[in-house]
Amino acid sequence: MLLSLMVAPFLGQTQLQLNEILASNNTNQMDEFFEFDDWIEIYNPGGIVNLAGYYLSDDPLNLIKYQIPATDPGATTILPGSFKVFFADNDNLTQGALHTNFTLSRNGEKVFLTAPDGVTIIDQIDYPEMAPDISYGRACEACSTWQYFNSVTYSAPNVELTPVAQLLFINEVQPENTGIYHDPEFEYDPWIEIYNPNTFQVNLGGYFLSVNGTGTQWLIPTNEPFNTVIPPNSFKVFWCDNDLAFGANHSPIVLNPAGGTATLTGPDGTTLVSSLTWGALSPGTSAGCSTDGAPTITTFNPATPINTNSLIFITPEPVVINEVMADNVLTFIDNYAEFDDWVEIYNPLNYDVSLAGYFMSDDSNNPRRWQIPTTFVDSVTVPALGWLTFFIDDSGTQGVRHASFNLNNNNEFIGLYSPDGLTLVDEIAWLHMDRDTSLGRYTDGSPEWVNFIVTTPDFSNNQGVISVQETNSTKKFFSVYPNPTRGIVQCSKKSNIRVYTIQGNLVENLYGVWQINFSNYGAGIYVLTDEEGNKLRVIKE
């Protein structure tokens, strides 16, 4: 046995495989310390293998991020046809050999299993965005294809159980959305809301939504559980906009303001789960259950999407998102000496404003992503005519100004919401943000947004050094990057562009372009305009 443990790492390394990953563990499987940590499962189809000396990593540039120690061979040895689970919880120093020194991102990333030589990759997986308590694994232990599993199989063969229709309700519909709630593309589309009254989450992937016809009109896709899972006692909106490319929560269903009946059918295609019939509705008005799941239907104005139909609206104070940084490498340190993403709130009023109970989110589908704690009100109060910075670092345990999510510097969004969890206070989205560059209002509270190469968290934006000024008034800006540039810049969208000198002289007309070549331009500042009238300053070095 001792000999086999010493030589197995070299004999068995080509047989080992990554088998299943859970990157958003809320209630699925606790570790030995009673914590719900993310985990990585390895399967061994061959002989006895001791994983001591092997490496696990989520960084392609650092394959030796976590070396499995040789201190506990009883824990790190896998028998033939068995599984070994490692908790990705960054607790390796205190919780043992089966706990790594990194965590997993629910937004998707790469995971590597590397041989003891630190170079040979035995197996790897680039997993997609994950929903809570739904794993991503091989369709079978010998399969090369991967899929989502509602039936998580911790340390066991991967098997997806046939879904059974659960108790759910079509809770509210709005055929003409005039502005209370938009989709991630900032479009105010019609919607259907589903309510989950259970004490467990339900994945609607595989159910059917229909209007005025067969119960199997539209099959809700099963390949995006992050868009189809409803948490316990919560709500999920499906957009009726025919924008299917935008995700599994966008449907081809058409809602008629003159009236109709929407139905939800179970995965078997025959079990009627719920239905809702509405009459003629005026623009901005919804029809829904008088209380969540009740048989009596009434109208709502304003509507209550993704919230209880008994919602009490709370008018927020008119504070604004003033500046945000999504790739902080060296500019601003938090109270733990860490360089985290951050967002600054500005209070234009002549009195202090407490943000306790307000919500922040990087997902417009889920405004309740993180609620600002009410435990230390002074710490989350924005002074009159002042600023307050929150760290968006997915480190809620580090204080009341540390959010439970983080930001991406590409194609990202952040919103601030009233304590009612629906009413929008302010929001901003971006397509790209350079490292150590912030996106902020030109002056505190102004409608124009700029990029700052010298950032101003907790101070007035009037002191910042502007890199790029964007004068459009839409939520998702036209932008180019890199900026400053010495050559080609990439456009955030395909556009007709006019290039001017800073003095206003036309340099070039470009039609339907995704990029602009500045190589032949002289050094200086240029102004770009597009067909929508947006203006953008670009620095040619």
Q: Which of 26, 22, 40, 35 is nearest to 404 (CA)?
A: 26
Q: Which of 445, 444, 443, 463 is nearest to 453 (CA)?
A: 463
The two tokens of residue 434 are 């350079």
Going by C-beta distance under 8 Å and a sequence separation of 6 or more, which residues neighbour residue 21? 38, 39, 40, 41, 104, 111, 125, 127, 130, 135, 136, 137
pTM: 0.78
Going by C-beta distance under 8 Å and a sequence separation of 6 or more, which residues neighbour residue 452? 323, 437, 438, 439, 440, 461, 464, 465, 466, 467
> What amino acid is encoded at 527 in this protein?
V
pLDDT block averages, 10 residues each, the chain of length 541: 41 75 91 91 94 95 95 93 94 90 90 96 94 94 92 91 93 95 91 97 97 92 94 96 92 96 96 97 97 97 95 96 93 89 97 97 91 96 96 91 91 94 94 89 88 87 57 50 81 82 77 86 82 74 80
Three-class secondary structure of residue 265 per DSSP: strand
CA atoms within 13 A on the CB side of 232: 6
- Distance between the two ends of the chain, CA-based, in angstroms? 66
Dist CA 377 CA 387 (whole Å): 15
Give DSSP secondary structure letters for 143-168. Answer: -S-EEEESS--TTS---PPPP-----
Pairing of strands 49-50, 410-417: unpaired
> What amino acid is encoded at 95 in this protein?
Q
Dist CA 529 CA 368 (whole Å): 37
Q: Cα separations (Å) of 39 from 13, 133, 254?
A: 20, 11, 41
Asked if residues 382 and 319 have their Cβ atoms less than 8 Å apart, the reply is yes
**Domains present along the chain, CATH in parentheses:** 2-149 (2.60.40.1260), 169-300 (2.60.40), 320-470 (no CATH), 480-540 (2.60.40)
- Over its C-alpha atoms, the chain yields an Rg (Å, rounded) of 26
Q: Which of 236, 452, 267, 426 is nearest to 348 (CA)?
A: 426
CA atoms within 13 A on the CB side of 436: 7
Asked if residues 107 and 59 have their Cβ atoms less than 8 Å apart, the reply is no
The two tokens of residue 166 are 């659960």
Dist CA 304 CA 540 (whole Å): 49
User: Cα–Cα–Cα angle for 50, 124, 433, nearest 5°?
Assistant: 135
**pLDDT value at residue 502:** 65
**pLDDT value at residue 4:** 41
Going by C-beta distance under 8 Å and a sequence separation of 6 or more, which residues neighbour residue 306? 181, 193, 235, 236, 237, 365, 366, 367, 368, 421, 422
> What amino acid is encoded at 10 in this protein?
F
User: How many residues are recorded in the chain?
Assistant: 541
**pLDDT value at residue 533:** 67
**pLDDT value at residue 476:** 47
Q: Cα separations (Å) of 26 from 132, 234, 402?
A: 6, 15, 19
User: Cα–Cα–Cα angle for 196, 201, 203, nearest 5°?
Assistant: 90
Asked if residues 392 and 343 have their Cβ atoms less than 8 Å apart, the reply is yes
> What amino acid is encoded at 225 in this protein?
P
Going by C-beta distance under 8 Å and a sequence separation of 6 or more, which residues neighbour residue 70? 50, 52, 53, 76
**pLDDT value at residue 470:** 42
Q: Where are the alpha helices (DSSP H) in 289-358?
A: none
φ, ψ at 432 (rounded to 5°):
-160, 145
Dist CA 359 CA 366 (whole Å): 10
- Sequence-distant contacts of 509-515: CB under 8 A, at least 24 apart: 514/490, 515/488, 515/489, 515/490, 515/491
**pLDDT value at residue 489:** 85
Q: Which of 233, 162, 172 is nearest to 202 (CA)?
A: 233
Residue 476 carries which DSSP code?
B
